Amino acid sequence: MAKIDLLQGTLDMMILRVLGRGPMHGWGVIQRIQQVSKDVLTVEVGSLYPALYRMERKGWIDSEWRQSENNRRARYYELTNAGKKQLEAEKKGWVRMCVAIDQVMHSA
C-alpha cells in the first residue's frame, strides 16, 4: 500500500494522541504512528523532533531523560494538562474538518 503524506497540522495532533497513552520517547512515537496506521503513515525524524520541541515550548508536553527498554538513555515526552486540553480541541477540529471535506467530496 502506498504511503500517504501527512496533512499540514496533523502531526501535532497525532503526537498528542500517542502521548495521551502515556510517556514515550521520540522513536516510540514514530513507531506507534506507523503501527496504528498499518504502515500507511510515516513520520520522519526531521519532522518529529522540531514538533516535539515546539509543543514543549507551548507547554503541551514535558520531557525528561530516562533509561529506555534497551537500557539506553532517551528523552521521554509526556502530556501536560494544557496538552490534554489541546488534544481535545484538536480532536473536535479534526471531526469538523472531516465532515466538511466529506460534504465537498460528495456534493453534486
pLDDT of 59-102, one tens digit each? 999 999 999 888 999 999 999 999 999 999 999 999 999 999 99
Whole-angstrom distance, CA of residue 2 vs CA of residue 12 = 22
pLDDT of 28-55, one tens digit each? 999 999 999 999 998 999 999 999 999 9
- Is 16 a residue whose pLDDT tops 70? yes
Domain limits, the chain: 10-105
Residues ≥6 apart with Cβ < 8 Å to 14: 6, 33, 41, 43
pTM: 0.89
pLDDT confidence of 7, banded at 50, 70, 90?
low
Which grid cell sits at 81? Answer: 494538562
Residues ≥6 apart with Cβ < 8 Å to 73: 65, 66, 67
DSSP E strand stretches across 1-108: 24-25, 61-67, 73-79
- What is the dotted CATH code of the domain comprising 10-105? 1.10.10.10
